[in-house]
């Protein structure tokens, strides 16, 4: 049974698939402090948050069973990604569910700004009929500058087009093709700040976007322009904005987000009549809250049930078509990594993975993570998973090299894992996925083999002399170890050889010692593949 903690108000309808699941129990406990969360998080497999809970390294460390943190929304700046990745916890978000809602909020803020709606409302309800203070401006024929043309920025641009606005857009990933489709003109930040009547920002807060609109930008702005921030507090420099308003450069500003939320009671925005504010309401519609909760709940279930999932923030995104192609190889890749690590005696310094055949033209990043997990699990056990395997390799100073090859040795697909260890030791294990037969190991070092990678195996290296197979069989029989199958490989008669036995149960350490002591046998190593 999986336990999930919902620590922020999240739509009940949205999380219904979790509450209905027979293998899940859901606890809703909102408004907890960091210490309160630290005290209880240890019981939970999953944590679901919106934007109120700050998931700190301390909470993540205390989450001994935690496998997934789900953010019902886009921004994950309230979750410490580094700590989660280190612990191998998947962080997922719901990037699509609140796009339209947030775009509509930004648009509503722009219209409210153009027509002074909040200020006029506040005065009208006091009984004052003040028509002259609230002369507005039209949006039609005005220039709108959009900074960040992702999901929300693009939707804002579409709506602005319908209002007859001319749009200047800046986004490092905006291509001429997309700009043409969206009927926007690509511009630089400088073009935008000099020419726009309205500016709206739709970027995440990153070191590059922090204060991307600050004093130097306000200084060159068109007098009387208006500015909207429904993205993240800090993209626009709050203090520089207040100065620009006082200097008469900016006519009005609309903010849904703040550098610190909630803002202090004496924050200058809250008393400035030219600034309208909302309390981070961008995503707050019934529809968006249901959408994001449904999306994130579905992914949390997949992760807990070890099923394929999307929208992981702490692993690079992969197209579904690529994922479908790679998925059948995940367990084979992990087993090859694990096998190679179990037959390597020295400290591993480098993992060299080679893909050939069907896998040569695919972005194999997710599969690489499984292979590295297989290798590292020998030392890290259950602490390594596909989220932190690359991170652990890096922090353990294990270099990972991935190459593509044209030679498939007659197979349609081939994965080869070479481990290079201290003292120059090198181990190679290669495998393939055979149509109709499943996973096979087809090469061990220089020896071609054909083994199903599963269960308990003994790898023996020996000299190719008569009687060895009999001696091994006798010893294992006397030790009550039953042999299920056997493979022998050699390059030349009488030369170096290997024997790989699949046995029905764990092999006691003393039996391995006795095997290694038999005449003509060099090493005997147990390999366990689960
Ligand atoms: N107010 C709210 O309640 C609310 C709701 C949803 C999203 N958001 C915020 O809105 C923002 C946009 O969300 P989205 O879903 O459109 O994200 P998105 O990832 O689809 O788009 C963000 C865009 O910003 C661009 N970008 C990054 N750095 C940039 C830079 N230096 N200059 C210009 N563009 C840059 C990216 O290329 C991307 O296209 C995020 O910060 C998100 O957290 C706020
Ligand atoms: O959950 C919210 O209300 C805000 C969500 C929003 O900021 C987001 O990034 O998705």
pLDDT in tens, 354-381: 999 999 999 999 999 999 999 999 888 8
Residues 211 and 116 in one domain: yes
Give the number of other CB atoms < 10 A from CB of residue 1: 8
Q: What is the mean pLDDT of residues 96-108?
A: 97
Residues 204 and 107 in one domain: yes
- Give 71 Cα–ligand 2 centroid separation in angstroms: 9
Burial of 207 (0-12, 13-18, 19+ CB in 10 A): exposed
Active-site residue (options: 232, 427, 440, 456): 232
Rounded alpha-carbon distances, angstroms, from residue 233 to 160, 230, 269: 23, 8, 12
Question: In the predicted model, is pLDDT for residue 213 greater than 90?
Answer: yes
Question: In the predicted model, is pLDDT for residue 152 greater than 80?
Answer: yes
Give the contacts of 45 (CB within 8 A, at least 6 positions apart). 2, 3, 4, 65, 66, 67, 68, 304
Three-state DSSP state, 167: strand
Residues 137 and 179 in one domain: yes
pLDDT of residue 351: 97
Residues 104 and 246 in one domain: yes
Residues 216 and 349 in one domain: no
- Give 121 Cα–ligand 2 centroid separation in angstroms: 27
Ligand 2 close to Cβ of residue 50 (< 6 A): yes
pLDDT of residue 489: 86
From the alpha carbon of 204, which atom of ligand 1 is closest? 41
pLDDT of residue 311: 82
Question: In the predicted model, is pLDDT for residue 64 greater than 90?
Answer: yes
pLDDT bracket for residue 17 (50, 70, 90): very high
- Max intra-chain CA distance, the chain: 109
pLDDT bracket for residue 410 (50, 70, 90): confident
261 is catalytic: yes
Ligand 2 close to Cβ of residue 75 (< 6 A): yes
pLDDT digits (tens, 9 = 90+) for 413-450: 999 999 999 889 999 999 999 988 899 999 999 999 99
Is position 193 within any domain? yes
pLDDT of residue 380: 86
Give the contacts of 464 (CB within 8 A, at least 6 positions apart). 490, 492, 493, 494, 495, 496, 497
Is position 122 within any domain? yes
pLDDT of residue 429: 97
Question: In the predicted model, is pLDDT for residue 166 greater than 90?
Answer: yes
Residues 12 and 151 in one domain: no
Considering 167-181, 232-246, 502-516, the range whose residues carry the highest mean pLDDT is 232-246
Q: Which domain holds residue 69?
A: 2-93+287-305
Is position 215 within any domain? yes
pLDDT of residue 28: 97
Residues 344 and 244 in one domain: no
Final residue before a domain boundary, out of 402, 435, 451: 451
Active-site residue (options: 280, 369, 440, 462): 280
pLDDT bracket for residue 199 (50, 70, 90): very high
> Cβ distance 346 to 339 under 8 Å?
no
pLDDT bracket for residue 26 (50, 70, 90): very high
Complete edge-to-edge strand list for the sheet that includes strand 2-6 = 24-28, 2-6, 46-49, 68-71, 90-93
Instruction: Output 269 or 492, whichever has higher pLDDT.
Output: 269
Is position 310 within any domain? no
CATH number of the domain within which 380 lies: 3.30.1330.90
Question: Of 146, 186, 214, 231, which is best to mutate to test ligand 1, by the most ligand atoms within 8 angstroms of its C-beta?
Answer: 231
Give the ligand whose atoms come closest to the C-alpha of residue 291.
2
Please provide the average confidence, as pLDDT, over all residues in the chain: 94
Q: What is the mean pLDDT of residues 48-70?
A: 96
What is the number of H-type helices and E-type strands within the chain? 18, 22
Phi then psi for residue 191, to 5 deg, are -55, -45
Give the number of other CB atoms < 10 A from CB of residue 382: 7
b (16+ CB within 10 A) / e for 330-348: bbbbbbbbbbbbbbbeeeb
Ligand 2 close to Cβ of residue 443 (< 6 A): no
Three-state DSSP state, 266: coil
pLDDT bracket for residue 528 (50, 70, 90): very high
Ligand 2 close to Cβ of residue 143 (< 6 A): no
Q: What is the mean pLDDT of residues 103-118?
A: 98
Residues 120 and 269 in one domain: yes
pLDDT of residue 180: 96
Q: What is the mean pLDDT of residues 19-37?
A: 97
pLDDT bracket for residue 310 (50, 70, 90): confident
CATH number of the domain within which 22 lies: 3.40.50.720
Residues 254 and 119 in one domain: yes
pLDDT of residue 307: 86
Is position 341 within any domain? yes
Residues 227 and 107 in one domain: yes
Ligand 1: residues whose CB is within 6 Å?
74-75, 95, 98-99, 102, 147-153, 170-173, 202-204, 206, 208-209, 230-232, 256-257, 280, 282-283
**ipTM of this model?**
0.99
pLDDT bracket for residue 258 (50, 70, 90): very high
Is position 222 within any domain? yes
Residues 255 and 296 in one domain: no
The one-character DSSP state at 213 is B
pLDDT of residue 308: 78
- Within 13 Å of residue 344, how many CA atoms lie on the same side as its CB? 30
pLDDT bracket for residue 202 (50, 70, 90): very high
Name the token pair of 79: 């979750």
* Number of domain units in the chain: 4
CATH number of the domain within which 488 lies: 3.30.70.260
Question: In the predicted model, is pLDDT for residue 494 greater than 90?
Answer: no
pLDDT of residue 287: 97
Rounded alpha-carbon distances, angstroms, from residue 66 to 9, 82, 332, 481: 20, 15, 26, 39
155 is catalytic: no
Is position 43 within any domain? yes
Total length of the chain: 530
Is position 389 within any domain? yes
Ligand 2 close to Cβ of residue 79 (< 6 A): no
Residues 84 and 146 in one domain: no
280 is catalytic: yes
- Give 492 Cα–ligand 1 centroid separation in angstroms: 63
pLDDT bracket for residue 406 (50, 70, 90): confident
Q: Residue 313's closest CA among 97, 153, 89? A: 89
pLDDT of residue 309: 81
Final residue before a domain boundary, out of 451, 482, 516: 451
Beta strand 447-451 with 438-444 is: antiparallel
pLDDT of residue 321: 87
| Rounded percentage of the chain residues whose pLDDT exceeds 70 | 100
How many whole angstroms separate alpha carbon 298 and alpha carbon 500? 43
Q: Helices (DSSP H) in 10-141: which residue ranges?
A: 16-20, 34-40, 57-62, 81-87, 99-115, 117-124
């Amino acid at each position: 049974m999986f336990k999930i903690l919902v620590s922020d108000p999240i739509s009940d309808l949205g999380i219904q698939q979790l509450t209905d699941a027979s293998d899940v129990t859901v606890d809703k406990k909102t408004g907890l402090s960091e210490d309160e969360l630290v005290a209880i998080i240890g019981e939970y497999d999953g944590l679901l948050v919106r934007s109120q809970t700050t998931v700190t390294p301390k909470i993540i460390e205390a989450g001994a069973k935690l496998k997934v943190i789900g953010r019902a929304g886009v921004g994950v700046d309230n979750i410490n990604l580094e700590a989660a990745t280190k612990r191998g916890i998947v962080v997922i978000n719901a990037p699509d569910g609140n796009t339209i809602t947030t775009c509509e909020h930004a648009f509503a803020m722009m219209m409210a700004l153009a027509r002074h709606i909040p200020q006029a409302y506040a005065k009208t309800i006091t009984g004052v009929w003040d028509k002259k203070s609230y002369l507005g401006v039209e949006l039609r024929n005005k220039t709108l500058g959009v900074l960040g043309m992702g999901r929300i920025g693009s939707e804002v641009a579409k709506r602005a087009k319908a209002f007859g606005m001319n749009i200047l857009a800046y986004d490092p990933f905006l291509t001429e093709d997309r700009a043409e489709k969206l009927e926007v003109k690509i511009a630089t930040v400088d073009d935008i700040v000099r020419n726009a009547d309205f500016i709206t920002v739709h970027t995440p807060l990153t070191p590059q976007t922090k204060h991307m609109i600050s004093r130097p930008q306000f200084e060159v702005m068109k007098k009387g322009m208006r500015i909207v921030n429904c993205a993240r507090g800090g993209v626009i420099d709050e203090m520089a904005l207040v100065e620009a308003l006082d200097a008469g450069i900016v006519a009005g500003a609309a903010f849904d987000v703040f550098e610190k939320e909630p803002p202090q009671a004496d924050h200058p925005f809250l008393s400035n009549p030219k600034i309208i504010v909302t309390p981070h309401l961008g995503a707050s519609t019934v529809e968006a809250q249901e959408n994001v909760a449904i999306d994130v709940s579905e992914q949390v279930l997949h992760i807990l049930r070890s099923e394929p999932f999307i929208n992981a923030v702490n692993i690079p995104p992969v197209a579904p078509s690529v994922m479908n192609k790679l998925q059948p190889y995940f367990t084979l890749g992990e087993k090859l990594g694990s096998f190679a690590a179990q037959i390597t005696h020295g400290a591993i310094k480098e993992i060299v993975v080679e893909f050939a055949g069907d896998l040569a033209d695919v972005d194999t990043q997710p599969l690489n993570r499984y292979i590295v997990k297989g290798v590292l699990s020998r030392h890290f056990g259950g602490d390594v998973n596909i989220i932190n395997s690359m991170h652990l390799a890096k922090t353990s100073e294990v270099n990972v090299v991935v190459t593509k090859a044209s030679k498939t040795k007659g197979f349609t697909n081939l994965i080869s894992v070479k481990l290079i260890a201290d003292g120059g030791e090198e181990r190679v294990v290669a495998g393939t996925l055979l149509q109709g037969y499943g996973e096979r190991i087809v090469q061990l070092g220089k020896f071609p083999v054909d083994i199903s990678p599963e269960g308990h195996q003994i790898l023996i290296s020996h000299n190719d002399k008569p009687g060895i197979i009999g001696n091994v069989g006798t010893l294992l029989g006397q030790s009550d170890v039953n042999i299920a199958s056997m493979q022998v490989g050699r390059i030349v008669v009488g030369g170096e050889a290997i024997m790989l036995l699949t046995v029905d149960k764990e092999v006691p350490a003393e039996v391995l010692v006795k095997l290694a002591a038999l005449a003509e046998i060099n090493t005997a190593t147990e390999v366990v593949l689960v």
